[in-house]
Amino acid sequence: MTEFLRIVLLGIIEGITEFLPISSTGHLLVAERWLGERTETFNVVIQAGAILAVVLIYRQRLWQLATNFHKPENRDYALKLITAFLITGALGFALTKFGFKLKDDITPIAWAFLVGGIWMIVAEHFAAKLPDSTTVTWNVAILVGLAQVVAAIFPGTSRSAATIFVAMLAGTSNRAAATEFAFLVGIPTMFAASGYELLKAMKAGGGHEDWGALALGFCVSMLVAFVAVTWLLGFIRTHRFTPFALYRIVLGGLLLLTIA
């Protein structure tokens, strides 16, 4: 397999899995066992490609928030997005400075897939019992910020799954509303992470990075994510997240069997 094809496959995997609640990081780390290991900068920056796709999809909503900030409902929503991002940023930065990072071994990733899938089924079961609500409270914003940190610490958890289901259980029980808030919070979070990794690479001289591969992965991820997210937003209007949970359980089980 050529290097070009490997990069394209990794971009496709990232684009599909970044916003589906199945963990892009977990899939990339597993895929790299066969497609070749990549730098942390590569993995984070191609995630930014998927985030850019979400910016394009939610461009009208973002423009509305930016140009109508004076309206109480928009200002309240935007401040909650900022709060969730700042919580993630502050705690994530502190953990990085203290050198807290789990090993990217297959075993904990497999368990994260498996346990995460079971948790999704249980969480949606209880969320379905709550009155339908599209309101994002301050508790939701704070918990979503914390959920992003948990997802960053434990590969295979899935940032989108953690944030969506925390939001649903905390009161934003409407799937579409919870998903929108989770995705919008991901925009500054992942762009900040990508910027941080790029800054580290530039300070190190940047010589060890394959910038062409990084750019290719970024573009492929963005295009594929645009299609995947557009489909997902339509799917969740009439369907539960159960198929994704079952997929996680099956994948986690298969991975545990292969490494046993």
Lowest-confidence pick of 30-34, 47-51, 252-256: 30-34
125 neighbors 256 (Cβ within 8 angstroms): no
What is residue 143's predicted lDDT score, i.e. its pLDDT? 97
What is residue 7's predicted lDDT score, i.e. its pLDDT? 94
Helices and strands in the chain: count of H runs, count of E runs: 11, 0
Q: What is the pLDDT of residues 62-83, one digit of tens each?
A: 999 999 999 999 999 999 999 9
Average pLDDT score over the chain? 91
Which H/E stretch holds residue 59?
A: helix 59-67
DSSP string spanning 213-249? HHHHHHHHHHHHHHHHHHHHHHHTTTS-SHHHHHHHH
Higher pLDDT, 201 or 170: 170
Neighbours of 99 (CB within 10 A): 6
Confidence of residue 47 (pLDDT cuts 50, 70, 90): confident
Q: What is the pLDDT of residues 78-127, one digit of tens each?
A: 999 999 999 999 998 888 777 776 666 889 999 999 999 999 999 999 99
What is residue 207's predicted lDDT score, i.e. its pLDDT? 58
Q: Which of 38-42, 152-156, 225-229 has the highest mean pLDDT?
A: 225-229
What is residue 216's predicted lDDT score, i.e. its pLDDT? 94
